[in-house]
Chains A and B, each alone.
Chain A
Amino acid sequence: MSQVPANLRYTKEHEWIRLEADGTATIGITDHAQAALGDVTFVDLPKVGKSFAAGEVFGTVESVKAASDLYCPVSAEIVEANTGLNDSPDLVNREPYGGAWMIRVKLKNPAEAAQLLDAAAYSASL
Chain B
Amino acid sequence: MSETLARTPLYDLHAELGARLVPFAGWEMPVQYTGIIEEHMAVRKAAGLFDVSHMGEARIRGRDAAAFLDRIMTNELSTLKPGAARYTLMCQPDGGCVDDLIVYRFTETEFLICLNASNAQKDIAWMRSLIGTAKVEVLDECAAWAQLAIQGPRAEQILALTTALPLASIRRFGFLVGEVAGASGCVVSRTGYTGSAGFEIYLPAASATKVARALLAAGKPHGLIPAGLGARDSLRLEAGYPLYGHEISERISPIQAGLGWTVKFTKAQFVGREALRRQAEGGPPSSVVMFSLADRRIARQGAIIFAGDTAVGEVLSGTLSPVLNKPIGTALVAAGFTGSSELTVDIRGTRLPLQVSVEPFVK
Contacts and interface: CB of A to CB of B under 8 A. Distances in A.
B154 interface: no
Contact of B298 (A38, A67, A86, A93): A67
Contacts of A86: 296
B294 to A, nearest CB: 13
B319 interface: yes
A118 interface: no
Interface string B230-264: 10001000000000000000000000000000000
Nearest to A35: B20
Interface in B298-338: 298, 300, 319-320, 327
Contacts of B297: 42, 44, 62, 67
B298 A62 contact: yes
Nearest to B31: A65
A39 interface: yes
B363 interface: no
Interface string A42-63: 1010000000000000001010
Contacts of A93: 35
B348 A67 contact: yes
B357 to A, nearest CB: 19
Interface centre among B296, B319, B327 (most CB of A within 10 A): B296
Nearest to B350: A44
Interface of A: 38-39, 41-42, 44, 60, 62, 64-67, 86, 89, 93
Given A38-B230, A41-B320, A64 B296 contact: no
Interface residues of B, number: 16
Given A60-B348, A64-B320, A38 B300 contact: no
A87 B337 CA distance: 33
B32 interface: yes
A64 B348 contact: no
A64 B37 contact: yes
Given A39-B35, A42-B297, A62-B296, 19 more contacts: A38-B32, A38-B35, A39-B36, A39-B37, A39-B320, A41-B298, A42-B296, A42-B298, A44-B297, A60-B348, A62-B297, A64-B36, A64-B234, A64-B319, A65-B36, A66-B300, A86-B296, A89-B296, A93-B35
A38 B348 contact: no
Interface centre among A41, A42, A66, A67 (most CB of B within 10 A): A41
B348 A65 contact: no
A85 to B, nearest CB: 10
B300 A67 contact: yes
Contacts of A64: 36-37, 230, 234, 298, 319-320
27 contacts: A38-B20, A38-B32, A38-B230, A39-B35, A39-B36, A39-B37, A41-B296, A41-B320, A42-B296, A42-B298, A44-B297, A60-B348, A62-B297, A64-B37, A64-B230, A64-B234, A64-B298, A64-B319, A64-B320, A65-B31, A65-B230, A66-B300, A67-B297, A67-B298, A86-B296, A89-B296, A93-B35
Contacts of B37: 39, 64
A120 B37 CA distance: 33
B280 to A, nearest CB: 36
A107 to B, nearest CB: 27
A44 B32 CA distance: 25
A93 B20 CA distance: 16
B320 to A, nearest CB: 5
Contacts of B298: 41-42, 62, 64, 67
A60 to B, nearest CB: 7
Interface string B217-236: 00000000000001000100
B246 to A, nearest CB: 15
A49 to B, nearest CB: 20
Contacts of B35: 38-39, 93
A41 B318 CA distance: 13
A64 B32 CA distance: 11
Interface in B6-65: 20, 31-32, 35-37
Nearest to A42: B296
A64 B348 CA distance: 16
A31 to B, nearest CB: 15
Contacts of B296: 41-42, 62, 86, 89
A93 B38 CA distance: 13
A41 B31 CA distance: 17
